[in-house]
Amino acid sequence: MATEVKVPTLGESVTEATVGAWLKKPGDAVALDEPICSLETDKVAVDVPSPVAGTLGQQLVKEGDTVNVGAVIAIIEAGGAAASPAPAAAAAPAKAEAAAPAPTASAPADEDDGEGGNLTLSPAVRRLVLEHGLDPSKIKGTGKDGRLTKDDVVAAVAAGTAKATAAPAASAAPAAAAAPSAPGRGEERVRMTRLRQTVAKRLKTAQETAALLTTFNDVDMSAVIEARAKYKDLFEKKHGVRLGFMGFFTKAVTMALRDVPGVNAQIEGDEIIYHDYADISVAVSAPNGLVVPVIRNAESMSVAQVEKTIGEFGRKAKDGTLTMEDMKGGTFTISNGGVFGSLMSTPIINTPQSAVLGLHRIEDRAVVRDGQIVIRPMMYLALSYDHRLIDGREAVTFLVAVKNAIEDPTRLLIDL
């Protein structure tokens, strides 16, 4: 008996998705609720679970195809191995993208069935494996169900522990030294993911519709670094999460938003919507790029609650389990480019929000304190905002409020 696998409901107002990767091959045994395919929506990647236990039969759509909610994408056969299925049919119930599917580099024949067991690689991971000549069976996966992530491959490259065995040279090769090969000029055409397409559209929309302006300030991180060093062990022991900088900045931002409510507002038509809550969008690194889940009602959270929430988002992003609800809404965004080494930037607002705070790397710089030149760990802050709604005075006031709270964290405790 055959069972159809259909595209599940993907969230409010989401009617279609792109097939990101097949996680099982035709003929593979699948368990009940085991993911067989990943779908990419405008915001998140979603795994499609098998509705029954059995064997994956025909795949009705290809990677890169666009599919509607409710469309049949595969067949699960009951019992043992299924007969070799036909290739994905051109008339499958899926709407193809206008552009042709991007060519994908072929994996080595033994890539999916190495000593490490049955490996399923996403297109991005497969590209990295091929580029660096790695044996994926020698890399420990940290993703969901032990799957390899881009971070796993990058770590293996750095460690140099997963090099694939080179193929033996052809016996007919001449003994004389071969002529040097020409420099490589290869190209690869890769379809943009649905997430990347959405990000591109929204960023361009922000540039075209908002009057973008960026105001800078800098902040002395000495006090926060000292507090973190003093209490990090006790904090982690009590709360089960490490004490980072984002907890301090999120609390500082929520206090500043209360003092300058226009920064937490948005324009809708000819009206301004002011929010009496702070839903803070935080940029989190995921295998397919940055995603922006939302810390809801951050103004009522403690530093520990903020850190726990961000930590959970990080784990879900790495495992590919962020949901549409995690990404929905947001009244203000914090983007920490400092973790990648950025010194300064002009971030673009996440529409329909009106402002975004960019954090950057901490570095020792010479500054003047009480008439003396001293070395302090300094960070540049950048506030990009929609000048239609927020004027320069409000932007500077907001940044100064954040700066004061970070340079004197006691303000966070006594609400100043």
Every domain of the chain and the residues it spans: 1-100, 104-165, 211-414
Tell me what the mean pLDDT of segment 260-286 comes to: 92
Find out whether 275 and 265 touch, Cβ atoms under 8 Å: yes
b/e string for 170-189 if b means 16 or more Cβ within 10 A? eeeeeeeeeeeeeeeeeeee
For the cut 70, the answer to whether the pLDDT of residue 35 exceeds it is yes
Class of CATH domain 211-414: alpha beta
366-392: per-residue pLDDT in tens? 999 999 999 999 999 999 999 999 999
Find out whether 251 and 303 touch, Cβ atoms under 8 Å: yes
Q: What is the pLDDT of residue 303?
A: 93
Comparing 227-231, 305-309, 319-323, the range with the smallest average pLDDT is: 319-323
Catalytic residues: 387, 391
55-99: per-residue pLDDT in tens? 998 899 988 888 888 899 899 988 754 444 444 444 344 433 333
pTM for the model stands at: 0.65
b/e string for 313-335 if b means 16 or more Cβ within 10 A? beebbbbbebebebbeebbbbbb
For the chain, what's the residue count? 416
The band of 216, judged by pLDDT with boundaries at 50, 70 and 90, is very high
Q: What is the mean pLDDT of the chain?
A: 81
What is the signed CA dihedral for 170, 174, 176, 177, rounded to 10 degrees?
Answer: -40
The number of beta carbons lying within 10 Å of the beta carbon of residue 375 is: 10
Comparing 54-63, 104-113, 236-245, 247-256, the range with the smallest average pLDDT is: 104-113
The band of 188, judged by pLDDT with boundaries at 50, 70 and 90, is confident
SS (H, E, C) the chain: CEEEEECCCCCCCCCEEEEEEECCCCCCEECCCCEEEEEECCCCEEEEECCCCEEEEEECCCCCCEEECCCEEEEEECCCCCCCCCCCCCCCCCECCCCCCCCCCCCCCCCCEECCEECCCCHHHHHHHHHCCECHHHCCCCCHHHCCCHHHHHHHHHHCCCECCCCCCCCCCCCCCCCCCCCCCCCCCCCCCHHHHHHHHHHHHHHHHCCEEEEEEEEECHHHHHHHHHHHHHHHHHHCCCCCHHHHHHHHHHHHHHHCHHHHCEEECCEEECCCCCCEEECEEECCEEECCEECCHHHCCHHHHHHHHHHHHHHHHHCCCCHHHHCCCCEEEEEHHHHCCCCCCCCCCCCCCEEEEECCCEEEEEEECCEEEEEEEEEEEEEEECCCCCHHHHHHHHHHHHHHHHCCHHHHHCC
In CATH terms, the fold of domain 1-100 is OB fold (Dihydrolipoamide Acetyltransferase, E2P) (2.40.50)
Class of CATH domain 104-165: few secondary structures
Give the distance between the most distant pair of CA atoms in the chain. 83
Which is more confidently placed, 373 or 3?
Answer: 373
